[in-house]
Amino acid sequence: IQFFHTQSDYQNKKVLITMGPTQEAMDPVRFISNHSSGKMGYALAKAFQARGAEVYVISGPISLNVDKSEFHWTDVKSAKEMYHAAHKLHGLMDICVFAAAVADYAPAEVAPEKIKKSEADLSLKMVKNVDIAFELGKLKHPGQLHVGFALETQNESENAKAKLDKKNFDLIVLNSMRETGAGFKVDTNKVHIYQSSGHSVSSEVDTKAKIAELILDQIKLVPIGV
């Protein structure tokens, strides 16, 4: 007996997904990071898997209850580590989804010992991190498809479309911060999806699992795509 997935429309596709936050160390016991839970990225990984794809996950530190054994799974901490892991797999992939909330800056130096408190205030020099999606966007090969995410608090659609162009994405998913239920940690989301072709669509507030299905359906509309 076969348990039927009605769709296996991503059969034979290799999909890379970056997800979660990155952690940028300042000393052996402290880091700079953000509130990304990895829930949207994990929902995408499960959706691709259920629809037949071979899924390669590169995840920053998350506290979700996940079954890593279903995927080719690489754990990383910093943006630099995530970049190296993604770069290694990139050439073999049919689809790359950049769902990670990569820290834009990292402490310029990692102190070898725990930084001791002193009477003075502390200021920390930060340097720019590698932009993983941008760098791999330059290496995108014909027939390969890149999907990005954006989170904006102002000029949402203009900024999202600018990122679509700059990073050579075929499609970008804009997270609606303003709308109910959307954002970090929660299980629901509302998104607007813009394609480089000009096509766009908006979701309702829905579960991240449903949003993931919508994103997979939209990816299939990309001309060079699946």
- Interface residues with Ca ion (CB under 5 A)? 104
Contact (CB, 8 A) for 10 and 226: yes
Q: How far apart are CA 176 and CA 188, in angstroms?
A: 11
- Residue from 163, 190, 192, 208 that binds ligand CTP (CB under 6 A)? 163
**In the complex, residue closest to Ca ion by CB:** 104
Q: Which stretch binds ligand CTP (CB under 6 A): 43-51, 54-62, 99-107, 212-220?
A: 99-107
Contact 174, 158 (CB under 8 A): no
- Output 52 or 77, the one with its CB closest to ligand CTP: 77
165 binds ligand CTP (CB under 6 A): no
47 binds ligand CTP (CB under 6 A): no
Residues 56-85 that bind ligand CTP (CB under 6 A): 79
Consult the annotation and say whether 206 binds a ligand: no
What does 161 bind: ligand CTP, Ca ion, none (CB cut-off 5 to 8 Å by kind)? none
Please tell me the distance from the alpha carbon of residue 71 to that of residue 46, in angstroms, as a whole number.
9
| 163: nearest Cα among 178, 148, 175, 153 | 148
- Tabulate helix, strand, coil % of the chain (nearest 5): 25, 25, 50
Q: Report the Cα 180 to chain-centroid distance in Å.
A: 22
Return the structure tokens found at 23: 């952690």
- Catalytic residue set: 34
Lookup result for tokens 């990155």? 22
134 marked as binding residue: no
Asked if residue 41 binds ligand CTP (CB under 6 A), the reply is: no
- Does residue number 129 form part of the binding site for ligand CTP (CB under 6 A)? yes
Alpha-carbon 30 to chain mean position: 24
Q: Say whether residue 100 binds ligand CTP (CB under 6 A).
A: yes
> Taking the complex as a whole, how short is the minimal distance between the CB of residue 173 and Ca ion, in angstroms?
14
For residue 101, give the DSSP letter: B
Give me the amino acid identity at 146.
H
The two three-digit tokens of residue 110, written as one number: 């990692």
Q: Which is nearer to Ca ion, 70 or 104 (CB)?
A: 104
* Span interacting with ligand CTP, options 51-59, 127-135, 190-198, 209-217, rule CB under 6 A: 127-135
CA-CA distance, 97 to 92, in Å (whole number)? 14
The answer on whether 104 is annotated among ligand-binding residues is yes
Question: Which residue of 70, 104, 109, 187 would you call a contact of ligand CTP, by CB under 6 A?
Answer: 104
Question: From the list 25, 62, 111, 151, which residue makes contact with ligand CTP (rule: CB under 6 A)?
Answer: 151
Which residues define the annotated binding site for CTP? 104, 114, 149, 163, 167
